Structure 1
Amino acid sequence: MKILFCGEGFPEARKQLAALLPDDEILAFPPDQIGSHIADADIVVPTVNRVDEALMKKGHFAFIQQFGVGLEGVDIEAATRNGIRVARIPSEESGNAASVAEHAILFMLMLSRNWNRLARAREENKPLPWGSPEGVALRGKTVCIVGLGGIGRELARRLAGFQVRIVTADDHADRTVPGIEIARRYTLAELPAAVAGADYVVLSLNYTPDRYHLIGKAEIAAMKRGVYLINVARGGLLDEHALLTALKSGQVAGAGLDVFWEEPVDPNHPIFKENVIATPHTGGVTDVSYEGISRAFAENVKRYAAGEKPRYLANDPTTTRRRVP
């Protein structure tokens, strides 16, 4: 079968998949060339690109398999209408969630210890006075985890060792993390109350259209002054204009961003003049997550090739396209 990546990213992923699926062909083209090659595809991998109904009708593929979790670029309703199954790889099972959780803690520590100020001092060759700048320790602080799915649970497990107070905001208010004390659980409808006393707010929930700018001007205003805001989920959850204003005013002391309102993000955006630590959507790009995702991906491809229903489906069409041999 021909497996088409919508973009030329994820080279290591394609290398691992080629080893796991030696009888299949792994293809990758720039996004502007996908339409010209889609007719050859048996399986489409959206990565971070858009797969809409127009593209679906150009091809004969009956399966969209994401290399990871996010499906915000896929028109799932259109896929269902066209008899195309859509699947993701759960983050907790693949090791992706653990990797992203570590990345969130990296942001927390770098912001707390004034990484940007230290880096500027080194670059400008201007040593800071001995004992400066004063850092912030995580111990005793309150962390609000927004979204207690795979990433949120892995983050809670890791934060417990830092002796922080954990509160959560989730669409399932009864979610817990076995063995981890959660001081208080809120629903997403109670978000302003959930973030009000937090020293750190970490976004780790799935993105859906109704969660666009879940964190905006009102929610940031509800946070305590000097909060650190971290997004390792999806860029659409956070209003970048509200964040920029809050960074300039000091309402938000610093932000850690692994995802953005557009990707790739403009490196000259004014938000990067503030106390922001940014990485290019690499929170889950580790040896552990790539190995786990590749293994689950290959298993699903084999199920599909054998005529079995793939695992981790995001939809389940009543009738499906006939797979072209």
Structure 2
Amino acid sequence: MRIAFISQNPEYRAFAERLAERLSAHSVLFQQVPSELNLEGIQAVMTAGTRVGRNVLEQPSVGFIQTIGTGFDNVDVAAATELGVWVANLRANVTGNAESVAEHAILLLLSLSRRLRLAEEALRQGRWATPTGSSLFGKVACVVGLGDIGSLLATRLQALGMRVMGVREHADKGGPEGVQVFGANALHQALREADCVVLAARAGEHNRDLLDERAIAAMKRGALLVNIARGSLVKLETLESALRSGQLGGVGLDVFWEEPVDPRHPLLQLPQVVATPHVAGVTDVNLAGSLEWAARNLEAYARGERPHFLVNSPRKPRSPLT
């Protein structure tokens, strides 16, 4: 089977080479898009963040799309289903992604609460025992989204001595032990109580700009916000305004309104912002787990079997699976 690994990011070439070694019975071709995209004779496509639209899905030989992570908002799933193309993601709870991203959320939260950027500047200036940080112990955290990542994060925040609330679309699904769960219709109620808010919800059109002006106004003045989900959950202008007014005391970002983001953007120059280049899941553990599960899925598809973690079910698939 011929597999195209497509990405705008050349850093994924090494991952594609490791995947080719794992799938030695098949052909894996790394294509940096858009310049190298060539899907002639390609049966399966693996995407690392790159948009997969009709330009890919209408290639008649392509029957399967595999994402590199849990998110599949970059794939036009409706078009894939219409055209008979299977789509699968990877589950965060089997690859090590959930553990990795939860750790990174805590890294960002601690960096904000202990005012890391100001502390580094104080050290460079020779100023000692400043600034005063804020301990997470005894504070209230609100995790928005209690999927694999959000649930793990909620448990870890409790270990730091925090009281943790969670918001999920259906509150009756519950959450980890000790976590007070709110439904999506009670988001503002949960935000009012929180000292720290972490966005861990799966993004889509249904929750674009989830934290709008009204939601951020409902938060405690000076609260901290971390986003390790998707940039579409918060509008850029809302973030800037809330930070400059002091309504938000700090923002930690691993995802952005556009990617790659311009590192010179004014928002990223603010001392109360800590940002990383979408690396929450880029760890040795998650990369190894993602490679193995993606390889298993691609092998299953090549054998005519259903891969794990399918997110659609075409009525007339190009390649019927058992």
Instruction: Give TM class, smaller chain.
Output: over 0.9
TM-fit CA distance, 1:59: 4.5
The yes-or-no answer on 1:100 pairing with 2:101 is yes
Say if 2:175 and 2:181, in contact at 8 Å, map to a contact too: no
- Structure 2: tracts of 5 or more residues without a match: none
Partner residue of 2:52?
Answer: 51
The alignment-based identity, stated in percent, is 39
The yes-or-no answer on 1:166 pairing with 2:168 is no
Q: Please give the alpha-carbon distance, in whole angstroms, between the structure 2 residues aligned to 1:194 and 1:214.
A: 14
The yes-or-no answer on 1:186 pairing with 2:182 is yes
1:174 match: secondary structure: helix
The yes-or-no answer on 1:252 pairing with 2:248 is yes
Say if 1:41 and 1:59, in contact at 8 Å, map to a contact too: no
> What are the Cα deviations for residues 245-295 of structure 1, in whole angstroms up to 9, with x where unaligned?
111111111111000011000111111122111111100000111111111
The yes-or-no answer on 1:132 pairing with 2:130 is yes
> What are the Cα deviations for residues 94-122 of structure 1, in whole angstroms up to 9, with x where unaligned?
11011000000001111111111022234
Q: Please give the alpha-carbon distance, in whole angstroms, between the structure 1 residues aligned to 2:247 and 2:178.
A: 28
Partner residue of 1:287?
Answer: 284
Say if 2:6 and 2:33, in contact at 8 Å, map to a contact too: yes
TM-fit CA distance, 1:58: 3.3
Match of 1:272 among 268, 273, 276: 268
Partner residue of 2:16?
Answer: 14
Say if 2:42 and 2:62, in contact at 8 Å, map to a contact too: yes
Q: Please give the alpha-carbon distance, in whole angstroms, between the structure 1 residues aligned to 2:44 and 2:306.
A: 14
Partner residue of 2:174?
Answer: 176
Residues 15/176 of structure 1: CA separation in 2 closer, same or farther (3 Å cut): farther
Partner residue of 1:111?
Answer: 112
1:28 match: secondary structure: strand
TM-fit CA distance, 1:34: 4.9
> What are the Cα deviations for residues 166-198 of structure 1, in whole angstroms up to 9, with x where unaligned?
0011012123344x311x211112111111111
Q: Please give the alpha-carbon distance, in whole angstroms, between the structure 1 residues aligned to 2:266 and 2:225.
A: 17
Partner residue of 1:224?
Answer: 220
Letter in 2 for 1:320: P
> What are the Cα deviations for residues 281-324 of structure 1, in whole angstroms up to 9, with x where unaligned?
1000001111111111111111111111111011000111148x
Q: Please give the alpha-carbon distance, in whole angstroms, between the structure 2 residues aligned to 1:40 and 1:272.
A: 43
Q: Please give the alpha-carbon distance, in whole angstroms, between the structure 2 residues aligned to 1:215 and 1:231.
A: 11
Alignment RMSD? 1.5
Letter in 2 for 1:241: E
Q: TM-score, normalised by structure 2?
A: 0.94
> What are the Cα deviations for residues 203-226 of structure 1, in whole angstroms up to 9, with x where unaligned?
001011111111111111000001
Q: Please give the alpha-carbon distance, in whole angstroms, between the structure 1 residues aligned to 2:277 and 2:135.
A: 26
2:106 match: secondary structure: helix
1:214 match: secondary structure: coil
Q: TM-score, normalised by structure 1?
A: 0.94
Greater displacement, 221-230 / 152-161? 152-161
Greater displacement, 9-18 / 75-84? 9-18
> What are the Cα deviations for residues 28-76 of structure 1, in whole angstroms up to 9, with x where unaligned?
22211354x1123211122211111133213521000011111111111
Equivalent residue runs for 1:51-90 within 5 Å? 51-90=52-91
Match of 2:302 among 302, 305, 309: 305
2:58 match: secondary structure: helix
Equivalent residue runs for 1:27-46 within 5 Å? 27-35=29-37, 37-46=38-47
Letter in 2 for 1:285: V
Q: Please give the alpha-carbon distance, in whole angstroms, between the structure 2 residues aligned to 1:84 and 1:58.
A: 10
Partner residue of 2:149?
Answer: 151
Q: Please give the alpha-carbon distance, in whole angstroms, between the structure 2 residues aligned to 1:231 and 1:175.
A: 23
Say if 1:216 and 1:243, in contact at 8 Å, map to a contact too: no
Residues 170/34 of structure 1: CA separation in 2 closer, same or farther (3 Å cut): farther
Q: Please give the alpha-carbon distance, in whole angstroms, between the structure 1 residues aligned to 2:90 and 2:249.
A: 34
Say if 2:101 and 2:281, in contact at 8 Å, map to a contact too: yes
Q: Please give the alpha-carbon distance, in whole angstroms, between the structure 1 residues aligned to 2:84 and 2:182.
A: 38
Partner residue of 1:214?
Answer: 210
- Structure 1: tracts of 5 or more residues without a match: none
